[in-house]
Amino acid sequence: MSYLRKVEFGGRELSGSVYITDDAEEAARLQDRGEAVVVYLHDENREQSFPGVLYAVEAPEDVDGEYAEKVYRRSKGMPWNILETERCLVRETTPEDAEAFFQIYSEPSITEFMENLYPDPEQEKAYIRDYRKNVYEFYGFGVWTVVEKASGMVIGRAGLSYREGCEIPELGFVIGVPRQRKGYAREVCSAILQYGWEELGFTEVQALVEPENQASLRLCDGLGFRREREVTMENKAYLLLKFDRPGGA
């Protein structure tokens, strides 16, 4: 007899259900109905193929409401809420955020020390869709969207990601000009570093900052990063800063 279990969840913003099954045909039927599915893997079904199923567990009894909501959100193309601070919600980016990003990046000071968006909004939306699939789904983290809770407005981006050629995750952030110098960047980045330690298991995070970018250097100093050395990447000079997990590994 195949295993089938339904896990329901509910909260302030969202409610739904996720099915756990160990049978490939059942999983396919559930997906055809538009259901969110988790595979229960064990010795008797490891050779089966479960196309389209993103998540698998070996202990189905451990699947709780929080995990079920994340599976549901991923299967429906909805963003995960990563963390909250006093004033902000940090969540996964969606293509709908592109409009706000273009407003933020229209300020010349924003792109002085960072790469600009694609010139075509549709290109940027396509990039975000690919990023969701290739980064969020693969790594489980990345650069996220920062939303001001009081207004519901997208005010920036921040997160942790791997730069090509680097083995240590890197902190990145941008806060729109209207919210700068109000402590938002420090508030959000402090929480993201804590998330990296506690939820992602990182023991070290780096930041690469151009020497002329004094605002970012001051922020990193305030967060506790130490300045290590100057490095050159892609023909551009950076200061390499590192921050070790408090209390060690």
Domain boundary among 54, 75, 96: 75
Range of the domain at 45: 4-75
Q: pLDDT category, 12, cuts 50, 70, 90?
A: confident
Same domain, 85 and 156: yes
Give the Cβ contact number of residue 232 at 10 Å.
Answer: 8
Partners of 75 in beta bridges: none
Same domain, 94 and 139: yes
Query: Taking every pair of C-alpha atoms in the chain, what is the biggest distance, in angstroms?
Result: 65
Per-residue pLDDT at 227 exceeds 60: yes
Same domain, 118 and 229: yes
**What does the pLDDT average to over 150-176?**
96
Cβ burial, residue 46 (10 Å; 0-12/13-18/19+): exposed
% of the chain residues with pLDDT over 90: 93
Residue 249 counted as domain residue:
no
| Domain of residue 110, CATH code | 3.40.630.30
Rounded-to-integer distance, Cα 71 and Cα 37, Å:
8
**What does the pLDDT average to over 103-130?**
96
Rounded-to-integer distance, Cα 208 and Cα 240, Å:
5
Q: pLDDT of 33-70, one tens digit each?
A: 999 999 999 999 999 999 999 999 999 999 999 999 99
Same domain, 123 and 156: yes
Same domain, 56 and 89: no
CB 238 within 8 A of CB 231: yes
Q: pLDDT of 205-214, one tens digit each?
A: 999 999 999 9
Domain boundary among 75, 94, 121: 75
Per-residue pLDDT at 1 exceeds 80: no
The pLDDT, as a whole number, for residue 13 is 79
Q: What is the mean pLDDT of the chain?
A: 95
Same domain, 169 and 70: no
Same domain, 118 and 232: yes
Q: What is the pTM of this model?
A: 0.89
**What does the pLDDT average to over 136-151?**
96
Domain boundary among 43, 58, 75: 75
